[in-house]
C-alpha cells in the first residue's frame, strides 16, 4: 500500500501519534520522516513554500499537491478519507457535533495546558515560571474532572464505539500521565485511569502511543 502522505514533526509528538492511530484504524499508511529536524527543516524556503507559518505537525499528500498544517485538521482529514469515517466522525449531525466538541476540548482544555509544563520541565526549552506552571496544572486538573464525569461507567466518550473524540483526548491524556497527572491528581478523577487504559488496549492505539505509563509524583524543577 502506498502512503496517503507524510506528516512532518519532531519525535514523539502526541499529535502525530494521534494521526498514526487514526491512519491505522482507517487502513491507511502514513509516512513520518525520521530525519526531520524541528527548528531547522521547518525554516527552510522549501518547507515555508508549502507551510507558510512553519508549524508542525504538517501534512503533505503523496503527490505533493495538497499541503496543510494544524493537528486537529490533520486528524479530521485522516479520519474522513478512510472506510471508518462514519464511526470515527459520526453518522448524523448531532453525533458529529458532540465528537467535535470533545476534539475541541482535547486541544483547548487539555493539550493547551499540557504544553507549558512540558516545555518547562521535560524538554527544558522554556525557563521555569512557577505561576505559569501552577496555572497550567490547575487548568488541566479542572479539565480532567470534566472528563472524569463524562467517562464514568463508559468505555467511550460518544456512543458505544471508538470515535475521533477518544483519540483526540487520549493524545494529551497519556502524555500527561507520564509526567504531570500524578496519583494525587488522579484521585480527584478516579474514572479517567480506567478509561485511558481501556483505550490503550485497542491494538492500533497501543501501537501509536505505547504502553500506559502513570507517574506517582509530577515532574518539576
Fold (CATH) for 5-86 = Glutaredoxin (3.40.30)
pLDDT of 2 reads 82
For the chain, which residues make up each domain, given as ranges?
A: 5-86, 90-209
pLDDT in tens, 113-162: 999 998 898 888 889 999 999 999 999 999 999 999 999 999 999 999 99
- Region 90-209: CATH code: 1.20.1050.10
- With DSSP H G I counted as helix, E B as strand and the rest as coil, what are the percentages for the chain, rounded to 5? 55, 5, 40
DSSP β-bridge partners for residue 36: none
Predicted TM-score of the model (pTM) = 0.95
**Domains 5-86 and 90-209 fall in the same CATH topology:** no
Q: Which residue ranges of the chain lie beneath pLDDT 70?
A: none
Those residues with Cβ within 8 angstroms of residue 174's Cβ, 6 or more apart along the chain or in another chain: 14, 196, 200, 209, 210, 212, 213
Amino acid at each position: 500500500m502506498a502512503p496517503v502522505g507524510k506528516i512532518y514533526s519532531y519525535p514523539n509528538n502526541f499529535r502525530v501519534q494521534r494521526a498514526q492511530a487514526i491512519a491505522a484504524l482507517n487502513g491507511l499508511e502514513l509516512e513520518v520522516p525520521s530525519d526531520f529536524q524541528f527548528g531547522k527543516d521547518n525554516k527552510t524556503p522549501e518547507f515555508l513554500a508549502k507551510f507558510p507559518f512553519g508549524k508542525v505537525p504538517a501534512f503533505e499528500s503523496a503527490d505533493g499537491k495538497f499541503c496543510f498544517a494544524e493537528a486537529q485538521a490533520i486528524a479530521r482529514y485522516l479520519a474522513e478519507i478512510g472506510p471508518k469515517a462514519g464511526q470515527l466522525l459520526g453518522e448524523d449531525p448531532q453525533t458529529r457535533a458532540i465528537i467535535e466538541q470533545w476534539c475541541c476540548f482535547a486541544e483547548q482544555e487539555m493539550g493547551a495546558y499540557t504544553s507549558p509544563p512540558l516545555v518547562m520541565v521535560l524538554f527544558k526549552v522554556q525557563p521555569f515560571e512557577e505561576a505559569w506552571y501552577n496555572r497550567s496544572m490547575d487548568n488541566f486538573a479542572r479539565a480532567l474532572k470534566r472528563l472524569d464525569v463524562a467517562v464514568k461507567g463508559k468505555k467511550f466518550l460518544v456512543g458505544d464505539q471508538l470515535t475521533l473524540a477518544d483519540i483526540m483526548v487520549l493524545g494529551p491524556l497519556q502524555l500527561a500521565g507520564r509526567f504531570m497527572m500524578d496519583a494525587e491528581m488522579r484521585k480527584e478523577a478516579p474514572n479517567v485511569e480506567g478509561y485511558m487504559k481501556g483505550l490503550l488496549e485497542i491494538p492500533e492505539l497501543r501501537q501509536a502511543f505505547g504502553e500506559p505509563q502513570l507517574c506517582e509524583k509530577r515532574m518539576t524543577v
